[in-house]
Structure 1
Amino acid sequence: MDWFKLSLKLNKFPINRAITHLKVIQTIPEENYENYLHGQREKIVKYHLKNNGFYRNFFGKDKFSSWEDVPVMKKSDLQQPLEMRLSDTFSKKNPYIGKTSGSSGHPFIFAKDRFAHALSWAAFQDRYKWYDIDLNKSLQARFYGIPLDFYGNIQERLKDRISLRRRFNIFDLSERKMEAFLNRFKKSDFDYLNGYTSAIMLFARFLKDRGMVLKEMCPSLKICIVTSERLFEKDKILIEEAMGVPVINEYGASEVGLIAFEDENQHWIVNSEDLFIEILDNNNNILPPGNEGRVVITSLYNKAHPMIRYDIGDTGVLSEKSTFKKPILEKLIGRTNDIARLANGKVVPGLTFYYVTKTVIEDSGNIKEFVIVQTKIDEFHIEYVSEHEFSEEQRHKILKAIETYVGKNLNIQFERKEYLKRSPSGKLKQFTSLVH
């Protein structure tokens, strides 16, 4: 039984047509691919100008003239009732409707027509096959959150059952719970793990602390796919050692689908079949490959709702080896709002704090998780979960490193907690600035 296809068909998503269309796109030769992308993006703009009142008002013109004149959409532009943003050819009854996680601070409800949604899933299926994972047959260990209300919980568990996914609820990551996770792996023939980086990282630490390798207890395991949160190289090495299988980076977003997927050469191959990816500067100018800027995405087939030149809130770099058919994401630096602004005008990527504290935390051996919050222009809170409080020596090392890499005269507060607050979806945001 093809469970993956069945689950989509039951929800009236035309997956067979989507798979066929994806294969047709993939046969387009490199020399013709630029024409395909330019033609499809112009089509979707013209469709929404004709059929979507919200987009006509947002666009500010009656006709498409050039791609550079197409306005860039921010998440805040979409924070209004969905009925106002749907195309005239759709109602709330016929498209797929979802909600973003809100980790960027700008949650909103979106819609995708059923073919566009099926095409997104066809892309996922295609990439998973690179690693001998068949969504119709392969059993997934799913490290995600889950709705806690009765209806949402039952609905999600039913979807998991049909889609060959077994949920590992990450809202409780105590050692007792991870012991239960381990027992499930011993009793089941899981083909792969898929889930949030921070949750899988915690499970990997649990295994490493006990000198265990997961594949030795679950020989059917092939790969581990991490998504939604940044994976650092040192963490990747640790997870691979603890799991005994390769760790694959997936980059996606619910509102647009699969954005990029890591191949066997450790290249993030951008989805150029149903998405068009651009890197823009702060003035919305298109940057050539090799330059860092804002990741802006166009969904080429979504007729229900415009996702055109949509600023997803991330910063990244496309490789200079990129082509129109095979763009390569060289770096994904993080959220554009994950930066610290200091009183002297200095701007520091939140990633800097991760590296500063990471070294000390690994030295201690007892730190489980941590987050850093900028509460004022000169004040940062480091919240952490550990067996013991930071020693004075550990605090001194962190303060010294922050002074070296970030700046002087900063007020650093440490707070040990029983657990760290996650988003409703289960994500853990490791750096947040509350300073606007």
Structure 2
Amino acid sequence: MNSKIEKLYLNCPEIIQNVLISISGLREKRLRYNGIYPQFYRSISENFKMDRQQQEQYQIDQLRRLIYTVAPKVPYYRELFSQIKLPSPDKFQLSDLEKIPILNKQVLRCQPETFLSSDANKKRLITIHTTGTTGTPLKVFCNAEVRQKNYAFFSRFLDSVGIDPAGSRATIGGRLLVKGWQSKPPFWRYSFFQKSLLLSSYHLSDSNIGSYIEILRKKKPSYIDAYPSSVYSIADYASRNRISLEGITDAIVTSAETLLGYQKELIEETFRAPVYDQYGSVEMCVFVAQCRSGQYHLHSDYSYVELLNEKGHKAAPGEEAEVICTGFINDVMPLIRYRIGDRVLTPSWEQKPCECGSGFPLIKKILGREDDVIRTPDGRKVGRLSGVLKGYPVREAQFIQFKADEIEILIVKDSQYNSYTEKSIIDEMLKRTGPSVKVIIKHVDSIERGKGGKMRHVICNIKPE
């Protein structure tokens, strides 16, 4: 929403805002679910059943199409491919992909137009911007057909866990729905044609959450789609105040932030509903989602993903890995071997068919952004910091680092928090960093959200050497 339209919208009465949001929602619905969406959804609906060999052949076919048919129409790749030797299309194998250099985000950020295909109809171009939580936002180009493919994958995920993609939903996200200084409800608006209750993530506080619970109980959405930190705030409030959330919804879908173990546990406990986490990107080059068995599956018909360790080699079982991805659905702006900046943990066991019946590869855990780590004076990267707080009466926390030998932890205390809690948290942190790091704890009333209403659990301002 541009600034003029946003200003006009925010100054309208509530009933007009609901009308405007409903009209916008109708346009979005048509853009997302018409066109090639029905046919494409049907074409991918059975891919869950592909075995490993079928998946590999599917990916080889997609990569051949991308590299030899789509990429040559893109200025960046046309120049790059003139400098490297690739085999003929009929001889191309997955191992040949390594001959193409990894694409860093900074290159894409500085020259996005060079990744735009000459086949793209500029009159039908759609430009999407990332939220830019860690820097300058990225510009991503696509068209309606690409968006329809993307939503077909999301609908397939919903359907696979028993959620009706066309059902009613409540969305708690970073959309600016009401003025930031508004102190009384409603902090939500309703998109009639999408059957969607839109709730502001910016106004979640102990003084307001009760009203969120009331409207959710009244609407009873089929599922809730939310940032983990947002729906966790509601669950935490309900738990502390002994408020039952059972029956409000059938399921909860989280995305856009890293879902931490303690968050999922409390959300499921208070809502008495399953949580299914989904990981994707605005660049549309990776799609990972939990199944009914709670396992993360890498949807291998969406993209080809390489999981590489710090040395740039294929990560071993149980090893942390960075995500390098090649998307299959956006021919308008194809990204090949793109370093997306996120980390995952590979399974520590030999992969076997999942209980859910899907043959898609497994990922043990989504660890979050590559820069969601603390850097120690001796050069180590320390991640997975949620374990520092596990079992302690802390409602929210954020780890901040400005100096290599000093870490600041912002903590929103629970009522049982005491001096022993604080000492224990410091001890847990030092177990990971070593005694050369000073740990400072600051108590705050709330953790500030970043752009798009997202919360970052770790902010490291130390640049890698």
Alpha-carbon shift at residue 158 of structure 1 (Å): 9.4
The match for 2:459 among 424, 428, 432 is: 432
Aligned counterparts of 2:253 and 2:46: Cα–Cα separation in 1: 27
Alpha-carbon shift at residue 322 of structure 1 (Å): 6.4
Equivalences for residues 57-72 of structure 1 within 5 A? 57-59=79-81, 61=83, 64-65=86-87, 66-72=96-102
Q: Does 1:47 align with 2:69?
A: yes
TM-score by length of 1: 0.86
Q: Does 1:114 align with 2:136?
A: no
Equivalences for residues 315-354 of structure 1 within 5 A? 315-319=343-347, 320-321=350-351, 326-349=360-383, 351-352=384-385, 354=386
Contact 1:86/1:305 (8 A) holds in 2: yes
The match for 2:114 among 77, 81, 84 is: 84
Alpha-carbon shift at residue 328 of structure 1 (Å): 1.1
Contact 2:26/2:193 (8 A) holds in 1: no
Contact 2:25/2:191 (8 A) holds in 1: no
3-state SS, counterpart of residue 65 of structure 2: helix
Residue number in structure 2 paired with 1:176: 207
Residue number in structure 2 paired with 1:9: 30
Structure 1 gap ranges (5+)? 151-156
Alpha-carbon shift at residue 294 of structure 1 (Å): 1.2
The match for 2:280 among 236, 240, 252 is: 252
Alpha-carbon shift at residue 403 of structure 1 (Å): 2.6
Alpha-carbon shift at residue 68 of structure 1 (Å): 1.6
Aligned partner letter, 2:210: E
The match for 1:200 among 211, 224, 231 is: 231
Residue number in structure 1 paired with 2:5: none
Change (3 A) 1:119 1:68: same
3-state SS, counterpart of residue 66 of structure 2: helix
Aligned partner letter, 1:331: K
Alpha-carbon shift at residue 298 of structure 1 (Å): 1.2
Aligned counterparts of 1:337 and 1:68: Cα–Cα separation in 2: 24
Change (3 A) 1:80 1:312: same
Residue number in structure 2 paired with 1:146: 175
Contact 2:397/2:447 (8 A) holds in 1: yes
What number of residue pairs does the alignment pair up?
Answer: 417
3-state SS, counterpart of residue 312 of structure 1: strand
Aligned counterparts of 1:58 and 1:282: Cα–Cα separation in 2: 25
Aligned counterparts of 1:236 and 1:393: Cα–Cα separation in 2: 26
Instruction: Give a deviation string over 1:103-126, Cα, whole Å, max 9, x none.
Output: 343530101243332111111111
Change (3 A) 1:165 1:181: same
Equivalences for residues 166-315 of structure 1 within 5 A? 166-216=197-247, 218=248, 221-256=249-284, 259-287=287-315, 290-315=318-343
Contact 2:31/2:148 (8 A) holds in 1: no
Identity of aligned residues (%): 21
Contact 2:224/2:251 (8 A) holds in 1: yes
Aligned partner letter, 2:389: T
3-state SS, counterpart of residue 93 of structure 1: helix
Structure 2 gap ranges (5+)? 1-23, 88-95, 180-187
Alpha-carbon shift at residue 56 of structure 1 (Å): 2.4
Aligned counterparts of 1:231 and 1:31: Cα–Cα separation in 2: 31
Aligned partner letter, 2:361: P
Alpha-carbon shift at residue 178 of structure 1 (Å): 0.8
Change (3 A) 1:283 1:90: farther
Aligned counterparts of 2:321 and 2:164: Cα–Cα separation in 1: 35
Aligned counterparts of 1:433 and 1:46: Cα–Cα separation in 2: 40
Contact 2:189/2:198 (8 A) holds in 1: no
Residue number in structure 1 paired with 2:434: 407
Aligned counterparts of 2:297 and 2:47: Cα–Cα separation in 1: 16
Change (3 A) 1:61 1:148: farther
Alpha-carbon shift at residue 79 of structure 1 (Å): 0.7
Alpha-carbon shift at residue 86 of structure 1 (Å): 1.0
Instruction: Give a deviation string over 1:187-244, Cα, whole Å, max 9, x none.
Output: 113111111111111110111112222124x3xx211111122223332221111111
Instruction: Give a deviation string over 1:8-51, Cα, whole Å, max 9, x none.
Output: 43466521232233247567665433222111112112234320
3-state SS, counterpart of residue 123 of structure 2: coil
Per mean C-alpha deviation after superposition, the further-off stretch among 248-257 and 118-127 is 248-257
Contact 1:7/1:162 (8 A) holds in 2: no
Instruction: Give a deviation string over 1:42-91, Cα, whole Å, max 9, x none.
Output: 21122343201022234553763321212211211211254332111114
Aligned counterparts of 2:112 and 2:381: Cα–Cα separation in 1: 36
Aligned partner letter, 1:330: K
TM-score by length of 2: 0.81
Contact 1:294/1:336 (8 A) holds in 2: yes
Aligned partner letter, 2:457: Q
Aligned counterparts of 2:255 and 2:63: Cα–Cα separation in 1: 27
Residue number in structure 2 paired with 1:153: none
Residue number in structure 2 paired with 1:20: 42
Aligned counterparts of 1:196 and 1:52: Cα–Cα separation in 2: 35
Residue number in structure 2 paired with 1:154: none
Aligned counterparts of 2:132 and 2:81: Cα–Cα separation in 1: 25
